[in-house]
Amino acid sequence: MALSASLSRKFLGFGTLSLGGLSLLIVGYAIFGFDGNSASLKGRLLPEGYRKEVQWRVIDANMVESGATIPPDTNVIFTLPGDAPSILRRSLLGSYDMTVRYWGYCLPENYDQTTAIAGDRLPGRVFLSEGERKARDEEYQRQLSERFSIPENLTDEDLNQLRQRPAGRIEHEIETFDPGAICYIMSQVPLAVGLDPDDDEANDQVEKEYGTDPEIADSDGDGITDGREIFFLHSSALRRDSDGDGLIDGLEDANHNGRIDSTETDPVKWDTDRDGLPDGLMKVGTGRNTQVLGEDKNLNGTVDEGESNPRMWSTLKNDISDGERYYQCLMTGGTDC
């Protein structure tokens, strides 16, 4: 029906225009071939005229294995090593930021050149970042609301078609990349692409940038994997006690899940409840004004008898903070404050 064709044309938006360029890439593969060699691929991947107009880069399997950076606003082809294990999208591309926009496309294993050129759609599957999916959905909804007045312009049959997925609308399909995959990507920001041999959710290139050990899942030995410190807690993967409060990060994020739960303190804040006392036990001040104070006096990560709660501004649940109560105790001559 005419409406279906109209929707296909109107709602593809940015994705359709970008995939138009990608069609040339795929045709380049079909016509000029691919032998896995970066130097030869660079000369044969795209028709010469197109190469002059568009920035592009090839990241071969060896570069992915050692770690590389995908530049922004550039057509990039990357290839995974044939003997590498499967890897999750967000680990491979080194970004857990839900606002980052990137999208890409992988050729299928049974890629048939003749069929790809003759067909009206790209072979294989598409991957979209969370930020890209959100932006596309918002744009789709915006165009839908602007271009149609349902009471005036649409019949019941039209509405039924609108409820179905419009032909040609690009959907996210890939979460795991397999060995030997050949893919295209376009990103809004630089992406650290690499493998993750220690399975810590931070690939080789990310670990290279942060100075952590790509062969050890927990470089600083605090109980939390490097990836969870880097991407989720934003703590130091090289220091056992990121905030210097006397408690190692693995005691503060006790279940090591990369989130600050209601029963945990924050490994990047020395005073989680902002009551004036460190979560653990540390020196505060300089010179003669130096004091050793804190809430978890034995640094075991639990609230024991005689200790205040580092997750509560007032352990006694009154109008006096634990810090104020501590200093009042000192001023009145207390010895076990």
Residue 204 belongs to a domain: no
Residues 6 and 152 in one domain: yes
pLDDT in tens, 103-161: 998 988 776 666 655 565 666 789 999 999 998 888 878 777 766 555 555 666 666 66
**Of 125, 158, 193, which one is at a domain's C-terminal end?**
193
Residues 173 and 27 in one domain: yes
**Of 223, 243, 269, which one is at a domain's C-terminal end?**
269
Residues 265 and 288 in one domain: no
Strand partners, 282: 293
DSSP state of 237: S
Q: What is the pLDDT of residue 140?
A: 79
Q: What is the pLDDT of residue 278?
A: 96
pTM above 0.85, yes or no: no
Tell me what the mean pLDDT of segment 292-303 comes to.
Answer: 94
Residues 28 and 130 in one domain: yes
The residue assigned the tokens 């064709």 is 5
Residues 219 and 123 in one domain: no
Residues 38 and 141 in one domain: yes
Residues 179 and 265 in one domain: no
Predicted confidence (pLDDT) at residue 282 exceeds the cutoff of 50: yes
Residues 40 and 104 in one domain: yes
Residue 311 belongs to a domain: yes
**Of 269, 298, 313, which one is at a domain's C-terminal end?**
269
The helix (H) or strand (E) run that includes residue 41 is: helix 38-44
Q: What is the pLDDT of residue 190?
A: 96
Number of domains in the chain: 3
CA distance 237 to 281: 21
Residue 59 belongs to a domain: yes
Q: What is the pLDDT of residue 23?
A: 44
CA distance 133 to 135: 6
Residues 156 and 246 in one domain: no
Residues 97 and 239 in one domain: no
Question: Apex CA 206: angle with CA 204 and CA 210, to 5°?
Answer: 115
Residue 66 belongs to a domain: yes
Residues 156 and 227 in one domain: no
| Top-confidence residue, 122 or 68 | 68
φ/ψ (deg, to 5) at 6: -65, -45
Residue 207 belongs to a domain: no
Residue 117 belongs to a domain: yes
**Residue 337 pLDDT class (50, 70, 90 cuts):** confident
Residues 260 and 324 in one domain: no
Residue 295 belongs to a domain: yes
Mean of the per-residue pLDDT values for the chain?
A: 81
Highest mean pLDDT out of 4-13, 22-31, 219-228: 219-228
pLDDT in tens, 227-280: 999 999 999 999 999 999 999 999 999 999 999 999 999 999 999 999 999 999
Domain span including residue 56: 2-193
Q: DSSP per residue over 48-107, as a string?
A: HHHHHHS-EEEE-HHHHHH-EEEPTTSEEEEE--TTSPPEEHHHHTT---TT--EEEEE-
Residue 72 belongs to a domain: yes
List own/partner pairs for 3-10 with CB under 8 A and 24 or more apart: 3/158, 3/161, 3/162, 4/161, 4/166, 4/167, 5/167, 7/161, 7/162, 7/166, 7/167, 8/166, 8/167, 8/168, 8/169, 10/143, 10/147
Predicted confidence (pLDDT) at residue 20 exceeds the cutoff of 80: no
Predicted confidence (pLDDT) at residue 41 exceeds the cutoff of 80: no
